[in-house]
Amino acid sequence: MSRIFVATLGFDERSIIRSLIRYNTFNPEEDSLLIIVPKNGLEDVRTKKAYEAILSVLKYSAKSEKIIDISVIEVNVPVEKNSFENFMRSLVNIVKSIVSKKDEKYSSEIIFNVSGGMRVLVLLAILAAKIIHSKFPGLKIMLEMETEDRGMYIRVPIGLTDVSLSPRELTILEVIKDLRSASAKSVVERIGIPRTTFYYIIKGLIKRGFVAYKNRKYEITDLGIIALELSDLMR
C-alpha cells in the first residue's frame, strides 16, 4: 500500500529528506509527497532552492522522473484583515488535497513532518491531520517533528490526541491490560457483557490503535496504556 508524506517547507529541506529516509526511503512508484508552502512561496529563492533539493533526491531514487508524485499546496498565510477566514480556507484546501490523494492512491498511511516552515503552516498541518483522523479513524496517521538542533526527532500517532473513553471501553481496556493476552471469552466472562457488545466495542478500540489482535488474543498497545493513564488523570 502507498503512503503519503505531508511536509511543511521553509528554507531548509534537510528535515524532509531525513524523514523520507527514516521511512525506508520514499518509493517514487507508490508514495506521494505533498509540500505545504505559503502562497507564492516558491518565488522565494531560498524556498525554491530547498524544494529543488528535495526533488533532486527523489529523482536520484526514481527509475524515471515521470513517476515522481510530488505536489505543492500553496496556502494563504493569514494577515490581520480576514485572518481567521484565510486560515480556515487554507485548512480546507489542505484537507481536500490530502484526502483526494489518499483516494487516488488508496493510501494506508499518512506521515506529517512539521519540522520546517512558518508556525502557521505547522498549525494548519496538525489540524488537517486531526480532521482526517476523525474522518478515517482506521487510517494510520503519524506526526513527526525534529528538535531545533536536528539532533533527534519525535514521532507520535495522531490518535494520541483522541483518548476519550466510555466507561465500557475503559473497563475492557483495563481487563485486557490485567490479562496481558485475553480471549474474547475471558473478557466477556469477567465483565459480564454480551459477546456482541464486546465485539462492537473492541472493533473501535482496535481502529483507534488501543488494542491489537494477535493469534486470536487481544493485547493492549502502548497507545492503549497511555489512553488509560490519561483517562485516570481526567477522572
- Check which CATH number belongs to the domain holding 181 and give it: 1.10.10.10
Whether residues 30 and 126 share a domain: the answer is yes
Closest of 15, 87, 78, 10 to residue 44, by C-alpha: 10
* Type of residue numbered 30: E
Whether residues 148 and 212 share a domain: the answer is no
pTM attached to this predicted model: 0.76
Whether residues 196 and 214 share a domain: the answer is yes
Helix (H) or strand (E) holding 74: strand 70-75
Look-up of cell digits 496504556: 225
| pLDDT at residue 122, rounded to an integer | 94
Whether residues 74 and 114 share a domain: the answer is yes
Of 115, 140, 160, the domain-final residue? 160
Whether residues 38 and 128 share a domain: the answer is yes
Whether residues 219 and 139 share a domain: the answer is no
Whether residues 98 and 208 share a domain: the answer is no
Contact 58, 26 (CB under 8 A): yes
The domain that contains 25 carries what CATH number?
3.40.50.11700
| pLDDT at residue 64, rounded to an integer | 57
Whether residues 145 and 187 share a domain: the answer is no
Of 160, 193, 210, the domain-final residue? 160
Closest of 210, 208, 215 to residue 183, by C-alpha: 215
Whether residues 229 and 146 share a domain: the answer is no
Domains: count for the chain = 2
Whether residues 88 and 193 share a domain: the answer is no
Whether residues 95 and 126 share a domain: the answer is yes
Residue-number span of the structural domain to which 14 is assigned = 3-160
Pairing of strands 217-220, 32-38: unpaired
| pLDDT at residue 234, rounded to an integer | 64
Each of the 235 residues of the chain gets a pLDDT tens digit; together they read 688 999 999 999 999 988 888 776 677 778 889 999 998 889 999 999 999 999 888 887 766 555 678 889 988 876 556 688 888 889 999 999 999 999 888 888 899 999 999 999 999 999 999 999 888 877 889 899 998 887 888 888 887 666 678 889 999 999 999 998 899 999 999 999 999 999 999 998 888 788 999 888 999 998 888 888 887 776 6
Whether residues 41 and 72 share a domain: the answer is yes
Of 102, 127, 160, the domain-final residue? 160
What is the C-alpha separation between 170 and 158, in angstroms, rounded? 20
| pLDDT at residue 69, rounded to an integer | 82
| pLDDT at residue 124, rounded to an integer | 94
C-alpha cell at 92: 480546507
| pLDDT at residue 135, rounded to an integer | 86
